[in-house]
Chain A
Amino acid sequence: MYKIVRKKVLNPTVTQMEILAPLVAKKAKPGQFIILRTDEDGERIPLTVAGTDPEEGTVKIIFQVVGGTTEKLNHMNQGDSLQDFVGPLGRPTETEGIKKVCIVGGGVGCAIAMPVAQEFHRLGADVTSIIGFRSKDLLILEDEFRACSNKLVVMSDDGSYGRHGNVTVPLKEMLEAGEKFDLIITIGPLIMMKFVTLTAKPFGVPVTVSMNPIMIDGTGMCGGCRLTLIKDGKPVTKFACVDGPDFNGYEVDFDEAMSRSRMYFGFERKSHESICNLYKQEAR
């Protein structure tokens, strides 16, 4: 069992937890993920590591309530224990040789982008961060990004905070103004990562995207997390859990990935509703 040491609500749908898992805390690097189960009948879900404290032996996770399991997780509190917590899985984000980087995060993806930005900052790179949210009340981690970025742009879809518009708007302006990034790293909804890649393409800047598909074991066994890369015009199947989660944005077949991410949409909706109803009954 893995104890929840601290819990913090970041916004109405996003929660941060620190979990006691000393072996994982010792090893995890930015870009890697963990898999957890809340209880004996729970499903295994992957969550990217949002930070570690190796001395305390804790791992930080940040999640958005989207389905049954995250709803259950959100109802757990400091002092409760998770059934299972395994990692770190996947490959860490490549940082070598990067002097000037642009980090583009969207929504809860910013939670994953934050430790990556911090790592580049620690390594002495020039960090530009563009973070976007639907609206002001969904904003997270602004102070953390400010602390590790040479330049920070906050965007909101509805204009309720920061600049109005998508993350691709300032990215395009910067690229057109002649900013020379060695690498753009984008983490967030698939559709956003697709458009960040398309925005960067005319400027020839390498783009790394962080994929977060449906997984079970996370060690390469099930193949559920497979995605297609187009290399030299040919499709190549890769497993996000062992080959990723970071991939070259120009090679990823985003449309397929978006379709696959909706495989259990019907189940997920039903499961979320039934779990919500359970909590409502308990509350009565």
Chain B
Amino acid sequence: MALDPKKHEMPVQDAVVRGKNFDEVALGYTKEVAIAEAQRCLNCKNRPCVSGCPVNISIPEFIAEIKKGEFEEAYRIINKTSSLPAVCGRVCPQETQCESKCTLGIKYESVGIGRLERFVADWHNEHATEKPAKPAPNGHKVAIVGSGPSGLTCAGDLAKKGYAVTVYEALHTAGGVLVYGIPEFRLPKKIVAKEVQTLKDLGVDFQENVVIGKTLTIDELFEMGNEAVFVGSGAGLPRFQGIPGESLKGVYSANEFLTRSNLMKAYRDVNDTPIMKGGKVIVSGGGNVAMDAARTALRLGAEVHIVYRRSMAELPARKEEVEHAEEEGIHFDILTDIKEILGFHNPDDPRDERNGFVTGVRCVKTQLGEPDEKGRRRPVDIPGSDFVLEADTVVIAIGTSPNPLIKDTTPGLEINSHGGIIVNEDGLTSRKGIYAGGDAVTGAATVISAMGAGKTAAAAIDEYLSK
């Protein structure tokens, strides 16, 4: 059979239709398409794809099972190393990880590894009826701070080895960024809930509404009998640009805008949490979070502009997300920098209800200059190119800086100049028994790199407590 040079297309909701709903954009492979795509895998002996995966999934092996139609077996292989396959199959940047190493990719398009992973996980979630067997307890107790991707992975790996694991979550729902940050149309919340339920079935205890550093300290977690603690508390405080007008009404951090829509479900009319919707929304930034915020605003009924100070080629977001955003009709105002947010002010009536609300942004056009220390070309303002874009809402999506709650209440925990927790290659911090990983260590990064860190720490905790 001749090898198809292209990977099988992922079926998606029509761009016009999906711009008006919060249902998932990508619809997933059918059984037939999955088997056909699996057949493109060359099953290379040296398995280059596996080296591209932060959690080392046995990729050729699970794909071989798909070829045979043994989907549950394929799931079992993935689940040996990944606790969140349905999540990774959706949000991993496979094009820069496993798929970038695929031998097929040298000449043709690589195997659609992420799409196959998603298919297997969804198939399992739909068909499997057996609950995982609870492993025999090994008598050790571990606490996990934060129920995002690193915490869930660490919890899953330890629970499978028989540890009594308790996960503490500050918010009212487990999942961390998978719940408050990534929108429903990219990662349905019922999938996250299912992955959390799988961990519960393994015996993991979830304690929501507990803020470590406030409700309990890390030292108290040790006093409660935990022998090790993993800190996966995530990124923290949103960064603002330090430009005039950022406190006007209608200016949100991406964290706030997404949390209102995702966690608090402000997009549903029955929920009590308000959100500014409709009109014209400007999103400042070019990363995945900016794309999520823009596409959420669009679905809430707005005309959306992404304002980014470099060109399309430098956008840090995944290509697929940018393409989806463009298809849905989001405008990209590139090589443009926001200098000031403008607000309504009625000089004759201080009680005018419109006072203090956003009316627009003052921008300047930029051109790319010399590369900076990271090798990205620096944007340089073009003098005299000022112009105003009208806006009702402005969302600032330029990143976060670490949350101080844990460092402030954990004596001896060393942090770096950016506020990230310092760890060694095993995820061990400066304090014995305290491990950390994910954004709390690295600053804002990807779901899968956080999962990789959770996995590394779980192995190190196991070794430390098995001694």
A positions within 8 Å CB-CB of B:
23-24, 27, 37, 41-44, 68-69, 83-89, 216-217, 219-224, 226-228, 237, 239, 242, 253, 256, 259-260, 262-268, 271
B272 touches A87 (CB 8 A): no
Q: Which 8 A-B pairs have the closest CB atoms?
A: A259-B356, A267-B274, A222-B256, A86-B209, A223-B253, A223-B238, A43-B272, A43-B273
Q: Tell me how far the C-beta of B220 lies from the nearest C-beta in chain A, rounded to whole angstroms.
A: 10
Chain B at the A interface: SS class: loop
A215 to B408, CA, bound (A): 21
Interface: B355 (CB within 8 A): yes
Identify B403's interface contact among A219, A228, A271, CB under 8 A: A219
**B211 adjacent to chain A (CB < 8 Å):** yes
Segment 233-247 of B: residues with Cβ below 8 Å from A: 236-238, 240, 242, 246-247
Docked CA distance A43–B261 (Å): 12
Q: Quick one: closest B residue to A258, CB to CB? A: B356
Chain B residues at the A interface, C-beta cutoff of 8 Å = 170-172, 180, 208-211, 214-216, 236-238, 240, 242, 246-247, 249-250, 252-253, 255-256, 259-260, 263-265, 268, 270-274, 353, 355-356, 403-405
Interface centre among B247, B272, B403 (most CB of A within 10 A): B272
Q: Are A42 and B170 in contact (CB under 8 A)?
A: no
- Which of the residues A41, A84, A89, A266 comes within 8 Å of B265, measured between beta carbons? A41
Q: Are A223 and B240 in contact (CB under 8 A)?
A: yes
Let me know if A265 and B404 touch, CB within 8 A. Answer: no
Contact between A220 and B236, CB atoms less than 8 A apart: yes
Interface centre among A23, A37, A264 (most CB of B within 10 A): A23
Q: Which of A84, A216, A264 contacts B259 (CB 8 A)?
A: A216
Kindly list chain B residues whose C-beta atoms are within 8 Å of the C-beta of A228: 247
Minimal beta-carbon separation of A246 from chain B (angstroms): 16
Say whether, besides A43-B272, A68-B272, A85 and B209 are in contact (CB < 8 Å). yes
- The interface residues of chain A, by DSSP majority, are classed as mixed
A64 to B197, CA, bound (A): 38
In the assembled complex, the Cα of A24 lies from the Cα of B356 at a distance in Å of 37
Nearest neighbor of A265 in chain B, beta-carbon distance = B353
Write out the residue numbers on chain B whose beta carbons fall within 8 Å of the beta carbon of A271: 272, 274
- 26 pairs from A and B in contact (CB 8 Å cutoff): A23-B215, A23-B216, A27-B214, A41-B271, A43-B272, A44-B273, A84-B209, A85-B209, A87-B211, A87-B214, A216-B256, A216-B264, A217-B170, A217-B259, A219-B405, A221-B180, A221-B255, A221-B259, A223-B237, A223-B255, A256-B247, A259-B356, A263-B250, A264-B274, A266-B353, A271-B274
Pairwise interchain contact A220-B256, C-beta atoms closer than 8 A: no
B contact residues around A23 at 8 Å (CB): 210, 215-216
Q: Give complex CA distance A26, B353 in Å.
A: 43
Residues of A within 8 A of B249 (CB): 259-260, 262-263
- Please give the distance in Å from B257's CB to the nearest CB on chain A: 9
Determine whether the beta carbon of B215 is less than 8 Å from that of A237: no
Shortest B217–chain A CB gap in Å is 9
> Closest residue to B268 on the A side, CB-wise?
A41
Complex formed: what's the CA distance from A72 to B427 in Å?
A: 45
CB atoms of A37 and B237 under 8 A apart: no
Q: Is B211's CB under 8 angstroms from A89's CB?
A: yes
* A253 to B246 Cα, complex, angstroms: 14
Instruction: Out of A41, A44, A216, A242, name the residue touching B270 (CB < 8 Å).
Output: A41
Nearest-neighbour CB distance to chain B for A22, whole angstroms, equals: 10
Residues on A with C-beta less than 8 A from B216 are: 23, 27
Taken together as a complex, chains A and B put the C-alpha atoms of A219 and B170 apart, in Å, by 8
Alpha-carbon distance between A86 and B273 when the two chains are bound, in angstroms: 18
| A84, B250: Cα distance in complex, Å | 27
